[in-house]
Structure 1
C-alpha cells in the first residue's frame, strides 16, 4: 500500500511538473541516445513528450499543439537533423514560443559543433542545403538555427561519455523546472540570479531569456570584433571543456585591454574569478613562484585546491617566462570543467606548451587607428580638419601601423602643437623614438639573449625587409630569427623579415650606441661621414659592427679617402657589414680611393660598394667569411689577381661592371647561390670551374654581348633561373639542369634548341623573343609538361610550330606575334588513346581541355584561318590578331573570351555563326571585340558580331545582378567595326554626338538587364600611338521631378598602346553594352519609389585616355534598352541574323556540345 501510494505521488509530481518537449531526428538517435535519455527522464520523474507517440502522417499542427503545452524544449542537434523538414519546422515553432517568453529551450549539440549549427557548416550544412529543393522555408529555418545557438546548451564534446551528457541534461532540466516553479510562486524570473545555481554550461546564464551583456569600453577601438574572435577560441561557457587560451602580440598592441574586457564581460558567469596583472614585474620582485602562491593561497595544486575545485575565470596578464605558469600544465586535469583561463604574453614560446589555442591581437584598421590618434592628438576635434592637419594626421597614423600604444603616445606628444612642429616631428620619426614607447618596448629587448639582441639590431639597422633565408644565412640567425618572431619583435611576411616602424626606430636608436657589446652600427650619414674624414680618424678606436653610408644623403661632392682610412677607423676583427651606396642615384657614388685601399678585415660578411673605384679588390682582403659581395657599376677588371678561397660566399653581384673581363678569381666559390653579371659587356667567357658550383640557383647574364656559349659540360642540378637576354653573340645553348624553371634566351643568336631541353621537366617560362635566327623548335617540345609561358614574338624566320602529340597541360600563354607560322598550332589535348579512340574523335570534357589563356598571332602575314578547334579552348581569354593581313575568316570562338583584337585584318571577310560559344558565367570581366580597319567584313559577319556581343553582355549583366556587383563604368561588352550607320534595331538614333531619348512606360519591367549605346565615328585617317583610343559617353537620366542617375561609360576603343602608329581609316561603328544596376537599385529604394526615369541625355566623345581627340568626329549615335533573350529575339535584330535557328537555341546547342550532354 505504501509502495502504491509512493508511486501515485511520484506520478502526480511528474504530471504537475513543467513538461519537456524533445525535438530530434528520430531515425538517427531514437534507439540509442534518445532511448537512454528517456530512461533518465523517467527516473527523474520528469514529464516529457516525444513524437514517437504520433504517427508520422499526422498533421504538424498536432506537434505544434504539443509544443504549446510544454514549458521546456530540448532541441537535440545531430549531423542529420537538418535533413528533416519536420524537425526544422518544430524548431521554428519552439523559437517563436521562446521569443514570446512562453517556453525555455536547451539546445543539445550531439556530435556537432555550435558553429556547424549556427553557420550551417560541415555535414550539418550539407544536409540542410542538399535535401530541400523548396527554398521558401530557408530564411525562417536559418533564423531559428542562429537564435537557438545563442541560448544555453550542452555539447557532447564536453563530456567523456553519453551517460555523463545525459546526466547533465537531466540536471539542467531539473534546475530550469525549479526556476519555473519559483516563477509560479511569484518570483520574477528576470530578477533571478541564476549564477547562484550550479548550471555551468552557457554564456547566457538564463535559459529561455536574454540578459544584457556588460558593454565594453567604447574608447577601446576595435575591441568588439576582437572579443568575438577571442570568444570563439574560448568556447561558450555552456561548454563543459576547460579552455586555456593565450593572447599574444607585440608591445602596445592591446593584449591586456582585450583580456580585461573579456574578464569584465564574463566574470559574473562563474563563482570564482581573478584578474592577475603585471606578472612579469611581480615575478621579477618575488620570484617565479609568486603567481602560483597568489592563486592557490599557499595550497598544493591538486583537486582539493579551493580555486580549481570550482568553475573559474582567470586572467593572467603579462607572463614573460614559462616557469611562471608551469604549475598549470603539470596537473591540468584538476582544473574544473568549463573553466576559462586567459594568458597574455609578448612571448608565444612561454605558453605554447600550455594553451589550447593562441589569439594573435591584430593591428587596428585605418578607421579605428585614425579615431584613436585624433582622440589624443586634438583637444578640439574641429582642428583635425583644418589646414594641412588631415594630411599630417594620415602620415602619423600610417607610421604607427595600427599599434594602439604608438597611436596614443604619438598623439599625446604632439597634442596642442603647431603644424610646423608636426612636420618637424614627422621628419625625425624614423630616427628618434618616443621616450614613453622606448621605455616600455625596451623591456622586450632587455629580456633577449646576446645573440638575439645582435640579430634584432642588425635587422633594424641594416636588413629590414630582406628575405628570411638571406638574413638567416648572413647573420647565422635561424634560431634567433625564430625566437624574435615568437616574441613579436619581428614578423615574416611573404618570405621577408618585417618589423613595425616604431620597433625599427627603437632598434636603430639602440644599435647606434657605442655601448653595445657587439659594437656600434653606423647607419646615420651624419654620424658616418666624420669617420671617413681623415682629420677625424683615430687609429683602431671604433668597435663598429656595421657601416652603411648613403652618399646621396650626405655627400654633395666626391670625397677622396686615404688607403688606410678604413683600417685605422675600425676594429679589424669586428667589422661585419660595409655598404657604400647612393639611394637617389644608384649609378653614382662619390667615394674615391686614389691611393688604393687597405682592407684587413677578417670578419667581413657583407661588402656592398656601388661604383667601386679600383680595378680589383685589395690583395689583403681575406674573403674567408664573406657571404655577400655586391659591386655593381664598379671599375674592376677582375675580382682578385688570383683565385681565393671563399667557402661561405653565396651571393655575387657585379652587374654593369663594364671593364670586367676575368671571373676566374671566383672559381673556388663552390657554394655560390646567385651570380649577377648583367651588363658586363667585355666579359667574353665564364670560368670552366663553374661546373663545380653545384649550388647555383640563379645566373643573370643579360646584356653580356661578348659571351657566345656556356662552359662545356655545365651540369647545374639546382639551377632554377638562367637569363641570357640580349646576349647578341650567344649562338649555342647546352645545359643540363633538372630543376630549371625560367629560361630567357630572348635577343640571342641561336638558330634552334637541342633535344636535351626535354629534360627540363620543371621549366615554366621559355622566352625566345626576337631570336631573329631561330628557325624551328625540336619536336620534343611537348615533353615540357610544366611549361606555362612560351614567347616566340619577333622570331621572323620561325615558320613551323612543332607537331604537338602530347598534352602540354599547363601552357597558358603562347605569343607568336611577328613569326612566319602558316597555321595556328594544335594546342588541344592529345592523348595516345582513350578506349581505343583518339580524343579528337569524340567530344571533349572540361578537364581535358587546354589551359591556354592568351594567344598572340599579331603581324602574321600567312595565316588565313584560325582553324576549327578554337572554340574548344575553354580557358582562352585573349586573342591578338592585329595586322594579320592574310586572315580571311574567324571560326567559332571559345566561351570565356574577353578580348579579340582583329585591328587591320584587311582581308577578313567572314566570321563563324555563332561567333562564340556562350555559357552562363559567374565572371564579370568586361569583354571587347575589335574589328577596326577590317574593311572587307561582310554585312552578315557584322550582324553576327553584334549578336554575339549582345548575348555575352546579357550573360554578364545577369552575373552582375546575381553577385550584386553594382554599376560597371566600363562597357560589359564592346565591339567596333567599319560602318557609317547606327543599326536599325536601336530604338533611339540621332545625328551628331548628343542624344535625348524618351523612355517608354514600364521600361524597367519585362526582363530589363541593361542598355546599349552606339556611336559612329569618323577618323579622317587618324593615327593613334602610345595613348589608348577610347569612345566614351556621359549619361544623365531623370524625370520631371528629379535627376536619378548621372554616370560616365566607356563603350569601346583600341585594346592597348602600341609602339607603332595604328592608322584608322573611314568611319567606324562602336557599340557598347552595360548594365544599369544603379538605376535599378535607385528604383528599389523606398525614398525613390515612383520616381521612374522618363528621359535621358547622352553625349559621346573620343579621347586618347587623357584628352579629347579633336580630329575625330561623332557622326551619329544611338541608344536602346536591352532585355532578356526572349525580348531580344522578338526585336528587329532577329532579321539581321543568319538563318539557322534563334539565338537562344544556338546558345543551348553550344552548351550541350560543350559539355557533351
Structure 2
C-alpha cells in the first residue's frame, strides 16, 4: 500500500498547491480503488480545512429517490458543519459552490458511474477553495476526461506476487505465511486471482480453517464455477454496457483475449460491431487494456466471468449458448445437429482433432455470424459430403483451415460474408457461384492444389487477396483488373507464377503488391507504374527477375521497394529518382547489380538504404548519395573494393549544402577499411548512434572517433588486426563488440595502468590473447569498476574468454543454479544492484546465455545474445566468462521488498537453433549483491591486482 500511496500522492501533487486539482483513481471492480482512496484520505485529511468521503455513490443512487440531492446535502453538511436543506439539484450545485469556494477541502467521491453524479457534486474548479483536492474513484475513466479539463489519472494495477501473498496469507491463515502443507495450494489460489485484491480477500476468507482436501475440492470447483461474490462485483461494469459493447466483450473473453488489436478490430468490424469505439469504451471502463505490443487483454477473472455469462444460458445444452470455444461442446453441437442459439464458433487446436458429424451439421445454426476452425477434421457419416450451402445467412466471417469441400457450392449465397480465409483448401469456387458483393478479404494461402484463380467478377468489392505459398498457382485471371477496391495483393512464394496480367496497372486502389519468392517470375508488367496508389512493392528473392520497368518512376506514393536477393537484376531504371515518397530501398544480395542510378540522391524521403552484397565499386557510387539528408540507415557489406567508403560518405557530405546529417545507423562490414580509411571530420555524422565496422583491416581507431558524440553501439568484431582500444571511443558509448579480435591484447594503458574510455558493456568472444595477457577475472573486475564509477544506473555486460571463478564473488556454484540469501532488511540498505557471472563453453560464434531470477513464483531475466552473421567458425570452442550487472533502478519495484529474503538464479545456454544446451557446457556460476559499503571499498582501490581485490571484498558481508 505504501508504494501505491506514494504514487497517488505524486498525482495529487502534480498541480500547484494553490490550484484546485481533480484526481481520478481508476481500475476494474475489486482492484482496491476505494481502499487506496480511504488510506490517502486518512493520511492527508489533517492538512485541509474540511474533508468529506462520500462512499458507494453508485449504490446510493441505485437505492434512493432524489439520490443526488441526498448526496449534495450530505456533502454540504459535512464540509460546512451545519445542516442544510437542499431540495433541487441545481440549487444544490449553487449552494455547494457558495459554501466551499473559499475553503481548502479534500473530497473523495467513491464509485462514480454516471456523468450527472460528477456534475452535481463537483462540477467545476471554482466550486472549491484554493488548494482543494477532489479525488474520484471510478471504473470509467472517460467520465473524468469528459468533465474536467485538467485531471490526473492514477490507474490502480494488480498486486504483485509478494503483495498478493501477504494479503492472502492474512485472510486465509491470519499470519504472514501459510503452513507447509498449504504452500502449493496457496500458490494456486494466488495465481488464479491474478493479483485482484477482492478475489484474494474473498477466497482467503472462504478457505480459512478448511482442510487440505477441502481446499483441493474448492480449487477444482473454481475451474468450472467462478465464485459468485467475486463475479457479482465484476459484472457491475458489464451490466452497464450497451448491447453491442457486451457482444465485443464476450467475443474477446471467449475467443480473443491476448490477440492483436488490429486482428480483433478486423473480425469485429466484419460482424458490424463498430469495434474502434467499442474497444475504446471497454478500455475506459477498465474492462480491457492494450499492451505495448498492441495486444488486447482482460483480467483472467473478467475472462472467466465472460465465459460464465455465456455458459449460464444453458449448461446442459451448449447449442443454446451464444458462443462455443471448446472441443466437447463443439462435438455435442455438431453430432446432435443443435446450435439454434449459436452466434460464434472459434475452435483452434494445436494438434488435429477428428469429429464425426452429419452432413447437415450446420443447418440449424441460423444465427451463426462467426466461424473459425483450425486443425479440425470433419468426417461425415455414411460417406456423405458436408453441405456447406446450409451455413447461416448471417455468416460474416469464415476461417476454416483445411476446408473439407472441393468447391464452395453453387448454393453458397452468403451475401453478407466479409472475410473468407480457407487455408490448405482444394479450390475456391467454380463459375456457377453467386456474387459475394460484401466480401472484402480472401485468404486461401498454402492451398497447393490451386492452379488458377477463376473469375473475379463474383467479388466486385474485394480489398485483400492473399495467396501465400500457393506453389502450383501458375496464372492470375485477367478479370482481377475489375477489382477497383483491391488494396493488398499478396502472392508471396507462389513458385509457379511466371507473369502477372499485363493490365495490372489498372488496379487503381492497389496499395501493397507482395511478390516475394516468386522464383519463376521473369518480368513485371510494363504498365505497373499506372498503379499510382502503390506504396509497397516487395520483390525479395525473385531470383529470375531481370529488369524493373521504367514506368516505376510514376509511383509517386511508393514508400518501400524491396529487391533483396534479386540475383539476376543487372540495373535499375533511371526513372528511380522520381520516387519522391520512397523511404526504404533494399538492394541486399543483388549480386549482378553493377551500377546505381546517378540521380539516387534525388530520393529526398529515403531513410533506409541497404547495399549489402552488391557488385558496385565505391568509385562507381553516384555522387548524389551524399545528398540524402533524411537517410537514417546505410548498410554496406562484402565488397573489399569499398575501402574508401567512409571518406566518400563523409567527404562528399561536407562538400554539399546538405549531407548525411540524419544518419543514425551505419554498417560498413567487410569493406577492407584500413587505418587510413577514416577522415578527420567524422564528427559531421552528428546523429550517428550505431556503427558496425566488423571484419575490416584497421589496427587502431583514429582520434576522430571521439567526435561521434551520439554513438552508443559500435561493433568491431572480426577485426583481426585490431590491437588496442585507446581514448578514441566516445564517452556515451553503451556497448562495443570485439568478438574474434584476435590481435587485441589490452584494454589498459600499459604506462598509466589505468582504464581506457571503455566504460560500457563489451562482447569479446574468442579474444584469447586479451584473456591470456590481462586475465578474464581482472579485466572483468576493472571494467565493472569503471562502469560503476561512470554509469552506475546503467546495465553492464561483458563476455570474454576464461574459466577462472572471479574470487570477488562470494556466492559461487558448479551447478547451473545458485541461491542468494538476503538479510531481513536488505531492501532498506543502500544496495546498488545485482551482479552475476557464468563460466561456460561456447561451442560456436552464435550463442545465447541468460539467467532467470526467481522469487516465489515470479522471475525477471538478464540475457545476452551474441549473434554474428559469419560463414565460418574461427577457432575451436572455448570457455568464456560472462559478467552481468543489473542496477537497482532496472529491477521491478515489487521485488524490492523485505518480504523477499531469497533469490534463486538459474542459468541457461542456447545454440544457433535456440535449443537449450546441456548443463555440461556450464562450468560455474555466481552472484553478488552490491551495496554501498562494497562500492566504497572498490572506489578507493588504486591498484587492481587480484589478490588485493579478494582480500578487501572477502572481508565485507554479503
Give the TM-score normalised by the residue count of structure 2: 0.70
Q: Distance in 1 between matches of 2:231 and 2:465?
A: 41
Residues 270-303 of structure 1: CA deviation (Å, up to 9, x unaligned): 4443222112222112134343354454323265
Which of 36, 39, 42 does residue 264 from structure 1 map onto?
42
1:739-787 deviations in whole A, cap 9, x for unaligned?
5443221222221112332344454432222323211112233444554
1:559 and 1:1072, CA in 2 relative to 1: closer, same or farther beyond 3 A? Answer: closer
> Given the alignment, which residue of 461, 465, 481 partners 1:691?
481
Query: How far apart are the structure 2 equivalents of 1:595 and 1:998?
Result: 71
Distance 2:46 2:207 in 1: 41
User: For the residues of structure 2 that align with 1:347 and 1:1067, how far apart are their CA atoms?
Assistant: 59
Offset of residue 351 of structure 1:
4.9
Distance in 1 of aligned mates of 2:459 and 2:438: 8
How far residue 632 of structure 1 moved from its aligned partner, in angstroms, is: 0.8
Select the residue among 234, 256, 263 that pairs with 1:463: 256
Aligned in 2, Cα 1:454/1:1079: closer, same or farther, shift over 3 Å?
closer
Question: In 1, distance between residues paired with 2:745 and 2:130?
Answer: 82
Structure 1 gap segments, 5+ residues each: 1-219, 583-587, 832-838, 840-847, 933-941, 1012-1028, 1099-1157
Q: Could you list the per-position Cα deviations for residues 1024-1053 of structure 1 after superposition, in whole angstroms to 9, with x for gaps in the alignment?
A: xxxxx98523567779x9999996799999
Q: Is the contact between residue 605 and residue 628 of structure 1 (CA under 8 Å) also seen in structure 2? A: yes
Tell me, yes or no, if the aligned pair for 1:431 and 1:508 is still in contact at 8 Å: no
Q: Offset at 1:633?
A: 1.1
1:546 matched to 2:344? The reply is yes
Tell me: CA distance 1:561–1:223, structure 2 relative to 1, closer, same or farther (3 Å).
Answer: same
Give how far 1:398 is off.
6.2
CA contact (8 A) 1:890 1:912 kept: no
State which of 354, 361, 368 in structure 2 corresponds to 1:565.
361
Counterpart of 1:487 in structure 2 is: 285
**Counterpart in the other structure of 1:227:** 8
Relative to structure 1, the CA distance from residue 687 to residue 340 in structure 2 (aligned partners, 3 Å threshold; closer, same or farther) is same
The corresponding residue for 2:472 is 682
Change in 2 beyond 3 A, CA 1:986/1:674:
farther
Could you give the per-residue CA deviations for residues 457-510 of structure 1, whole angstroms, max 9, x where no partner exists? 122222333435425513322343343333222234455543222212211111
- Separation of aligned partners in 1, 2:605 and 2:396: 42
How is 1:905-924 mapped onto 2 (pairs within 5 angstroms)?
914=702, 917-919=705-707, 921=709, 923-924=711-712
Residue 719 (structure 2) aligns with: 931
Residue in 2 that maps onto 1:891:
677
Alignment pair present for 1:361 and 2:147 = no
Write the deviation string for residues 406-463 of structure 1: whole angstroms up to 9, x where unpaired. 4444555666778999899888877653332211111222222333322221222223
Question: Measured at CA, do residues 1089 and 828 of structure 1 come closer, stay the same or move farther in structure 2, by a change above 3 Å?
Answer: same
1:728 maps to 2:523: no
Q: Distance in 1 between matches of 2:55 and 2:16?
A: 23
- Shift of the 1035–986 alpha-carbon distance from structure 1 to 2, 3 Å rule, reads farther
1:450 aligns with 2:243: yes
Counterpart in 2 of 1:630?
Answer: 421
Which residue of 2 is the match for residue 46 of structure 1? none
Q: Deviations over 1:968-1027 (max 9, x none)?
A: xx7665672569999995999999975688999xx999x98999xxxxxxxxxxxxxxxx
Whether the aligned pair in 2 keeps the contact of 1:272 and 1:310 (CA below 8 Å) is no
Report the CA distance shift for 1:1037/1:630 in structure 2 as closer, same or farther (over 3 A). closer
User: Matched residue of 1:226: which SS?
Assistant: helix
Does 2:107 correspond to 1:314?
Answer: yes
How far apart are 1:564 and its partner, in Å? 0.6
| Cα shift at 1:266 | 3.5
| CA-to-aligned-CA distance 1:918-942 (integer Å, 9 cap, x gap) | 326355435324234xxxxxxxxx4
Given that 2:567 and 2:590 are in contact with CA atoms closer than 8 Å, whether structure 1 keeps it comes out as yes
- Secondary structure at the residue paired with 2:301? helix
Q: How many angstroms does 1:661 deviate by?
A: 3.3
Return closer, same or farther for 1:805/1:995 CA change in 2, 3 Å cut-off. closer
Structure 1 stretch 622-631 or stretch 463-472: which is displaced more? 463-472
Q: Which residue of 2 aligns with 1:612?
A: 403
Q: Does 1:869 align with 2:671?
A: no
Q: Structure 2: how far apart are the matches of 1:1073 and 1:513?
A: 56
The residue aligned with 2:454 is 664
**Which region of structure 1 is more displaced relative to structure 2, 261-270 or 983-992?**
983-992
Secondary structure at the counterpart of residue 708 of structure 1: coil
Greater RCO (Cα-Cα under 8 Å, separation 6 or more): 2
Q: Quick one: structure 1 residues 1054 and 950, their matched pair in 2 at CA, closer, same or farther if it must change by over 3 Å?
A: farther
CA contact (8 A) 2:355 2:378 kept: yes
With structure 1 as the length reference, what TM-score do the two structures score?
Answer: 0.59
Q: Distance in 2 between matches of 1:307 and 1:595?
A: 79
CA-CA distance at 1:304 after TM superposition: 5.0
Name the SS of the counterpart of 2:618 in structure 1.
coil
Task: Classify 1:266/1:1074 alpha carbon distance in 2 versus 1 (closer, same or farther; 3 Å).
Answer: closer
1:801 maps to 2:596: yes
Per the alignment, residue 1033 of structure 1 pairs with 802
Q: CA RMSD in A?
A: 5.1
Shift of 1:549: 2.9
Structure 1 284/415 Cα, relative in aligned 2: closer, same or farther at 3 Å?
same
**Post-superposition offset of 1:560:** 3.4
Q: Please identify the structure whose Cα radius of gyration is greater.
A: 1
Q: CA 1:722 to 1:428, structure 2 compared with 1: closer, same or farther past 3 Å? A: farther
Superposition pairs of residues 72-471 of structure 1, within 5 angstroms: 220=1, 222-232=3-13, 236=17, 239=18, 241-287=19-65, 288-289=67-68, 290-295=70-75, 297-299=84-86, 300-301=91-92, 303-304=94-95, 307-308=99-100, 311=103, 312-328=105-121, 333=126, 335-336=128-129, 338-356=131-149, 357-364=151-158, 366=160, 369-376=163-170, 379=173, 389=183, 400-409=193-202, 411=204, 432-464=225-257, 465-468=259-262, 469-471=265-267
Alignment partner of 1:603 out of 370, 388, 394: 394
Residue of structure 2 aligned with 1:708, choices 478, 491, 498: 498
Contact 1:1037 1:1097 in 2 (8 A): no
* 2:552 is aligned with 1:775: no
Residue aligning to 1:525 = 327
Q: Is the CA contact (8 Å cut-off) linking 2:636 and 2:667 kept in structure 1? A: yes
2:631 to 851, 854, 863: 851
Deviation of residue 334 (structure 1)? 5.0
What is the alpha-carbon distance in structure 2 between the residues aligned to residue 1037 and residue 719 of structure 1? 61
1:801-834 C-alpha deviation (Å, 9 max, x unpaired): 2224525455455444443323366477668xxx
- Structure 2 CA distance for partners of 1:389 and 1:740, relative to 1, 3 Å: farther
Q: CA deviation at 1:363?
A: 0.6
CA contact (8 A) 1:631 1:653 kept: yes
Give unpaired runs (5+ residues) of structure 2: 77-83, 652-659, 754-766, 790-797, 813-833, 847-865, 888-927, 949-958
Work out whether residues 242 and 338 of structure 1, in 8 Å CA contact, stay in contact via their aligned partners in 2. yes
Is the CA contact (8 Å cut-off) linking 1:870 and 1:891 kept in structure 2?
no
Shift, 1:721, TM fit: 2.9
Once the two structures are TM-superposed, the CA of residue 308 in structure 1 deviates from its matched residue by 3.8
Tell me the distance in 2 between the aligned counterparts of 1:992 and 1:330.
71
1:326 is displaced (CA, Å) by 3.7
Please say if residues 12 and 23 of structure 2, whose CA atoms lie closer than 8 Å, have aligned partners that are also in contact.
no
Residue of structure 2 in register with 1:745 after alignment:
539
* Structure 2 CA distance for aligned equivalents of residues 260 and 660 of structure 1: 66
Contact 1:973 1:1073 in 2 (8 A): no
Whole-angstrom distance in 2 between the partners of 1:228 and 1:990: 54
